[in-house]
Amino acid sequence: MPANKLRRKGLLGILAIIVVLSTILSGCNSSKSGGKDKYPKEVTIGYQVIPNAELLVKTKGLAEKKFPNVKINWKAFDSGRDVNTAIAANSIDLGLAGSVPVAIGVTNKLPYQVYFLHDIIGEAESLAVRNSSGVKSVKDLAGKKVGVPFGSTAHFSLLSALKLEGLDASKVTILDLQPQDILAAWQRKDIDGAFVWNPILSKLIADDGSILVTAQQLADKGSITADVGVVRTAFANDYPNFLKDYVSVLDEAVKLYRDKPEEVAKDLAPVLSTDEKDALAQTKQLVWLTSAEQSNAKYLGSKKSESGFADVLLQTAQFLVDQKQIPSVPKLEDFQAAIRQEALKK
Amino acid sequence: MNTRNLGISLLAVIIAFSAWWIVSVSGAVSHLFLPTPVAVWKAFLEVINEGYKGSPLVTHIGESLKRLAIAFAIALLTAIPIGMLSGYFAKVRAFVDPFIEFYRPLPPLAYYTILVLWLGIGDSSKIALLALAAFAPLYLAVVSGVSKVPKDRINGARSLGAKDWDIFVHVIFPSTLPDLFTGIRTSIGMTYTTLVAAEMVAAVSGMGWMVLDASKFLRSDIIFVGIILMGLIAVLIDVLIRWLEYNRVPWKGKE
């Protein structure tokens, strides 16, 4: 066998890498430009199926109604990790990611800013344990197997819960599982517990599970997790009016939910692949806030320096460094700079 | 070995490496897209010295290779006899083919959750996924190898008094070796590309998992380390198989 054929294969590989990289790079330069007052021709929104205002906006077509001349592309994502990658590759303008992926993104200087908190995770993410596993408290988890999607808000919450109870994370077998695989592993009794969100969470509870700790309880102790709306900074600079009006659409959805939660649950139920009653329960497990409420210093604040959420992101990043998930944390000012208050109603 | 061509290959690698170095150091591209060679080297030293997420680098490589080896051994032990039978007896082939043709083009991730449900989140489901990826190309290569054996050769052996079993062992098997080795190389390649998918579920070790986990935390430097390592190991495996082929099937291409 001639050895040069093998080498030629290697050369082809390198060429392929160069082609891929140059495609990525050329993608970065194609940022759209337009008048400051106008709406863009096209907007790509990366959403996730989470029972919050943005899902309601999409389901009811509120954005299409508000912006009849803008083509709105909805792209579904399963995790904040993919949203981060999509933003980095310039493929989406607006996106929804958990506070943990956003802390990771800001640490890695992704060109995006937080413009809205889609929801504060209350009881929607919880640590469920199998009743027959005999786990009654977090401390009992020592030596047990717990599944969680790594790099998610649930992962952060699980590690926070262990830390708060003084249980060393190395004493627990923590497995990297996506939600649907958590369900599979649970049904096979491969795992004793899981920190996960709906709809999987409610399926675990229905199958001999009970809740040990909720994200709400951890938030009360200072470990807040949230689903965050992020916008590409360049897009927000080009189209400040679009962002402002989009936030008003989100506000409209929050108001709709507060006025008629049952109707909203009916709209969302098919999207969440569940029935109306369960959809209502799921929406209640998340805290929906209007933009006016978010301009409170506790959340996004009205000035860069007073945003409580920048502190949350900093703490999250600090925690991830302690867990050796990321190498280092930027300064508080960097997180404050990553919060964009202009679109909020004051 | 042709040293003149070796020089060209070396030159290409040096050019690519220099391009990487210049582009990443110049700052024209975010380090998230393209970490500098120095950063990748540092990340490499970091995983060598401290390991990655609690396991030393050797463990990650060892775990992946162990899964690959077991899966591949299963594929060898099943695909070769089934492929031989299918190649020799058209009826066996008619029985087996629909299943192979059905699952072969399926993306592994499509049925992975089913495997997890059947076999659990431990190593068995990972090995099963890899073994399935390895089986089809190997089976097809063996079938085609058997059907290519010249009829004269079989008849010749028979006229010399060979029984069916002797023909199988001494004529058909050696005659399929060249195709078998081609099959092994394709098969290893297929298995290798499935490695990352296999280590997606409930793994806390393995090269594929390392790259996946690093991508969750946007650690481009670690991703580069993982990819470069995986590539080098794949080349080494291929070289090893070629060496075996050269030693075991010296007549290949000379019939």
Tens-place pLDDT, residues A192-243: 999 998 878 988 999 999 999 999 999 888 888 999 999 999 999 999 999 9
Pairing of strands A125-130, A193-197: antiparallel
The token duo for B158 is 């028979």
Q: Which of B6, B40, B205, B216 should be substituted to probe chain A, the one whose Cβ sees the most A Cβ atoms within 10 Å? A: B216
Residue of chain A with shortest Cα separation from B242: A1
- Residue from A309, A316, A286 nearest A163 by CA: A316
CATH 3.40.190.10 for domain A42-122+225-343: yes
Residues in chain B within 8 Å Cβ distance of A2: 2
Q: Is the pLDDT of residue A73 over 90?
A: yes
Q: Is the pLDDT of residue A257 over 60?
A: yes
Task: In whole angstroms, give the CA distance from residue B93 to residue A244.
Answer: 65
Identify the three-state secondary structure at position A124. coil
Query: Which residue stretches of chain B have pLDDT < 70?
Result: 1-3, 253-255
One CATH from 3.90.1520.10, 3.30.70.890, 3.40.190.10, 2.40.290.10 for A125-220: 3.40.190.10
B19: contact with A, CB 8 A cutoff: yes
For residues B194 and B230, the answer to whether their CB atoms sit within 8 Å is no
Q: Is the pLDDT of residue A37 over 70?
A: no
Residues sharing a CB contact under 8 Å with residue B215, sequence separation 6 or more, in sequence order: A81, A85, B223
Pairing of strands A42-47, A94-98: parallel
Q: What is the pLDDT of residue A7?
A: 55
Q: What is the pLDDT of residue A34?
A: 46
Residue B192: CB atoms within 10 Å: 22
pLDDT mean across residues, chain A: 88
Q: Is the pLDDT of residue A23 over 70?
A: no
Listed in order, strand segments (DSSP E) in chain A are 42-47, 71-76, 94-98, 112-121, 125-130, 145-148, 173-176, 193-197, 209-214, 226-232, 286-287
Residues in chain B within 8 Å Cβ distance of A6: 235, 238-239, 242
Q: What is the pLDDT of residue A9?
A: 57
Question: Residue B8 is which amino acid?
Answer: I
Q: Is the pLDDT of residue A38 over 70?
A: yes
Q: What is the pLDDT of residue B255?
A: 62
Residue of chain B with shortest Cα separation from A148: B202
- Residue from A182, A217, A188 nearest A203 by CA: A182
Q: Is the pLDDT of residue A158 over 90?
A: yes
Q: Give the full edge-to-edge strand order of the sheet including A42-47.
A: A71-76, A42-47, A94-98, A226-232, A112-121, A286-287
Q: Where do the CATH 3.40.190.10 domains begin and end in chain A?
A: 42-122+225-343, 125-220
Q: What is the pLDDT of residue B1?
A: 45
- A29 pLDDT tier (thresholds 50, 70, 90): very low
Using CB atoms within 10 A of its CB, is residue B20 exposed (0-12), middle (13-18) or buried (19+)? buried
Q: Is the pLDDT of residue A32 over 50?
A: no
